[in-house]
Amino acid sequence: MTGALLVIIQIAGRRCALGALEVKSVIEIGTITPVPRAPHWISGITALRSQALTVIDCRRALGLPSGDWPTDHRAVVVADGGHAYALLVDSIEDITTAAGEVGQVPGGFGAEWSRIANGMIETLAGPALLLDLGSLLAGPEALSREIETLV
């Protein structure tokens, strides 16, 4: 992982990292068309050229309220399973290089964060949580589903 490019973003006041290869682009977010009856962490859909992006509020996808933090006017575009998503975050900080391997911390990151994070990674900008895109996009319900099946 050392030397890999990472996009550093802030989600709910925490520093997080996404692999730069996973990030297609960073766009100015335009009008978001709400999707009635969709999960609350889906803000809606927005257009990127001829493509429709599903807009995910990362704070809500973590199961946190979104009102407590500022929202960047830019969004990170990622793709997963053939669908493109725009991620709403507090702010998009920088692109930097990983300075170590993915590691864990004793005691974990807390239930919500552990679900979406692969682990901690040291970067030139300081330590950050390396996000797992699939789990982030699965939304907070995924966690409760896991718990149900465990019970």
Contact footprint for other proteins (CB under 8 A): 31, 33-39, 42, 45-47, 49-52, 54, 81-83, 85, 137-139
- Smaller CB distance to other proteins: residue 49 or 67? 49
CA dihedral 34, 21, 105, 70 (to 10 degrees): -40
Kindly tell me the number of DSSP H helices and DSSP E strands found in the chain: 4, 10
CB of 82 to other proteins, least distance (A): 8
Report the residue number, 82 or 107, with the smaller CB distance to other proteins. Answer: 82
CB nearer to other proteins: pick between 46 and 66: 46
What number of residues does the chain have? 151
Q: Is residue 144 within a helix (H) or strand (E), and if so which, with residue range?
A: helix 141-150
Q: Least distance in Å: CB of 123 to other proteins?
A: 29
Q: Please, what is the minimum distance in Å from the beta carbon of residue 63 to other proteins?
A: 15
- What is the helix (H) or strand (E) element at residue 135, kind and residue range? helix 133-138
